Amino acid sequence: DAKTTQPTSMDCAEGRAANLPCNHSTISGNEYVYWYRQIHSQGPQYIIHGLKNNETNEMASLIITEDRKSSTLILPHATLRDTAVYYCIEGQGGSEKLVFGKGMKLTVNP
Amino acid sequence: ETGVTQSPTHLIKTRGQQVTLRCSSQSGHNTVSWYQQALGQGPQFIFQYYREEENGRGNFPPRFSGLQFPNYSSELNVNALELDDSALYLCASSAPGTGSKQYFGPGTRLTVT
């Protein structure tokens, strides 16, 4: 079973920042936080991951709290194409299975 | 585009039949994982292959089996199909040392009638 918890859904206005929360209160010291998203009828897409430091790439920023019990994925300027189901997942450093929960549906409105 | 391809795109089978789904991994990736995604649910891990050997398996019965070939492409075989096997089947490839960063294909939609 998935060990992370996310809201079921969230709305965001186009052009605004989307802040997607995730709780992972039982995360262990060597586990990373991964974010994926799945646009309707497509395969999941990797977004970003981090261990304890904040991370940024061309898609998003990841802010992890100091105690590592929660994190926030930030899409700085949401577009309609960012409408998708977003999954927050705990993963270790090796190549291993991803344990998906139900994720959070983000709807970006015009 | 991730470079991971799957075939066929859609498939309709009858209960009791057998099916083979195929996946070509991204160049340089030696690990392939398979997932089943029922409608409205997140993907569920079936199994993973690393250098042609099974490297982990989820809670799926033995009628779900797989292969990985020397070029790292892979097959998922399902025998004795049941109605509940209707789902989107996803494969994902990953490169050595990249952790849980996986690149997914578009999936095969299997319908069992």
What are the pLDDT digits (tens) for B47-102? Answer: 999 989 998 999 999 999 999 999 899 999 999 999 999 999 999 999 877 778 89
pLDDT at A1 over 80: no
Confidence band, pLDDT 50/70/90 cuts, at residue A4: very high
Is B99–A95 a contact, with Cβ atoms under 8 angstroms apart? yes
Alpha carbon distance B12, B9 (integer Å): 11
Identify the contact set of chain A against chain B, taking CB-CB distances under 8 A.
Answer: 2, 32, 34, 42-46, 49, 85, 87, 89, 91-103
Q: Rounded to the nearest 5°, which phi and psi values hold at B107?
A: 95, 160
* Mean per-residue pLDDT, B15-42: 94
Is A43–B90 a contact, with Cβ atoms under 8 angstroms apart? yes
DSSP, res A97: -
DSSP, res B10: E
Residue A58 has a pLDDT of 95
Residue A2 has a pLDDT of 75
If one counts every other C-beta atom within 10 angstroms of the C-beta of residue A4, the result is: 22
* Mean per-residue pLDDT, A91-107: 84
Of A1-10, B5-14, B96-105, the least confident: B96-105
Looking at chain A, the whole-number percentage of residues with pLDDT higher than 90 is 77
Token pair in block for residue B91: 């494969």
Nearest CA in chain B to A101: B42
Q: Tell me the nearest-neighbour CA distance from A27 into chain B, angstroms.
A: 15
Q: Which residues of B touch A32 (CB under 8 A)?
A: 99-100
Q: Tell me the nearest-neighbour CA distance from A100 into chain B, angstroms.
A: 5
Residue pair B75/B45 in contact (Cβ under 8 Å)? The answer is no
Is A91–B100 a contact, with Cβ atoms under 8 angstroms apart? yes
Confidence band, pLDDT 50/70/90 cuts, at residue A41: confident
Confidence band, pLDDT 50/70/90 cuts, at residue A93: low
Q: Is the CA virtual torsion A71, A77, A78, A81 positive or negative?
A: negative
Nearest CA in chain A to B106: A43
